[in-house]
């Protein structure tokens, strides 16, 4: 049984506006307590309504909330299946936090820096031959698009995700995918579109050094290159912010 009756007492005291969210949270908590794994089926909508002592529409809304977070998959005619953790929840957090002004772009860049440095360091130690080939092909393609910010920012995202994959650390990969995928438009506007030709070429040269270090298996050099990449990006952001503040 997914959820026992005794585990969800006091339903009448819950606020109706948040009831479905609370039911969704309890569904996940009980799924973990019961040892359910990705691929396992949750109890039926009608049974969950009985277990939680709520209406079926409330359960249905809770399940749709979980589906929107990629925590479950709803299959018509079958039910809800538990899914493995994804980047969606983190992406939703970062998108919302930025949209309401809770966090600033430079704060996320500062938080990304140590994660990306560790990602590059591990990638140099753990990359596969196939990943080396992909990185070399990608950096060559990036060189042809150095002065095309629209194309380069997408290739830059692809490179960082490939490095995260090569690091072979699922936590690092989840964090980098969630943060960078959410910020790709902001990265384009703030870090690439505002640069001159010389600055763009310098950024690409750092990317080339980074990839070369990973290909050669030089973990220290890979970490230094990524460190330099973020130091320069943060310096550029601070300079741009200063220029904006000085404008009358």
Q: Which residue in 139, 131, 134, 138 sits closest to 166, CA to CA?
A: 131
Superfamily the domain 88-246 falls into: GntR ligand-binding domain-like (1.20.120.530)
Residue-by-residue pLDDT tens, the chain, 248 positions:
343 333 444 444 444 447 998 999 899 888 888 888 989 999 888 989 998 999 999 999 999 999 888 888 999 888 899 988 777 777 778 888 887 888 888 888 899 999 999 999 999 999 999 999 999 999 999 999 999 988 999 999 999 999 999 999 999 999 999 888 888 888 878 888 888 889 999 999 999 999 999 999 999 999 999 999 999 999 988 887 665 444 44
pTM above 0.75, yes or no: no
Name the helix (H) or strand (E) containing 48. helix 45-52
- The pLDDT score that the predictor gives to residue 12 is 42
Q: Right CATH number for 5-82 from 3.10.450.50, 3.40.50.12160, 3.40.50.1370, 1.10.10.10?
A: 1.10.10.10
Q: Which residues contact 33 (CB under 8 A, 6 or more apart)?
A: none
Return d(Cα 198, Cα 200) in angstroms, integer.
Answer: 5
Distance of CA 55 to the CA centre of its chain: 34
Q: What is the pLDDT of residue 143?
A: 96
Q: Where are the domains of the chain?
A: 5-82, 88-246
pLDDT score, position 30: 82
Q: Is 32 exposed, middle or buried (0-12, 13-18, 19+ CB in 10 A)?
A: exposed
Contact 90, 98 (CB under 8 A): no
């Amino acid at each position: 049984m997914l959820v026992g009756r005794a585990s969800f007492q006091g339903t009448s005291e819950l606020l109706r506006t948040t009831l479905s969210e609370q039911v969704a949270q309890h569904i996940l908590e009980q799924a973990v307590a019961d040892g359910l794994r990705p691929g396992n089926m949750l109890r039926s909508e009608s049974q969950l309504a009985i277990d939680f002592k709520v209406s079926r529409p409330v359960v249905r809304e809770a399940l749709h909330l979980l589906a929107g977070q990629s925590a479950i998959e709803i299959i018509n005619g079958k039910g809800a299946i538990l899914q493995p953790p994804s980047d969606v929840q983190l992406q939703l957090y970062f998108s919302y936090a930025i949209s309401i002004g809770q966090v600033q772009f430079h704060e996320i860049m500062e938080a990304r820096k140590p994660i990306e440095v560790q990602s590059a360091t591990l990638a140099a130690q753990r990359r596969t031959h196939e990943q080396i080939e992909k990185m070399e092909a990608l950096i060559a393609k990036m060189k042809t698009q150095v002065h095309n910010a629209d194309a380069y920012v997408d290739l830059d995202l692809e490179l960082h995700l490939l490095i995260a994959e090569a690091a072979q650390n699922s936590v690092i990969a989840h964090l980098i995918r969630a943060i960078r995928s959410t910020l790709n438009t902001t990265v384009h506007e703030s870090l690439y579109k505002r640069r001159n030709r010389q600055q763009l070429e310098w950024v690409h040269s750092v990317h080339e050094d980074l990839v070369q270090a990973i290909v050669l298996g030089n973990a220290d050099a890979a970490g230094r290159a990524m460190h330099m990449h973020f130091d320069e990006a943060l310096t550029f952001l601070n300079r741009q912010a200063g220029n904006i503040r000085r404008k009358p």
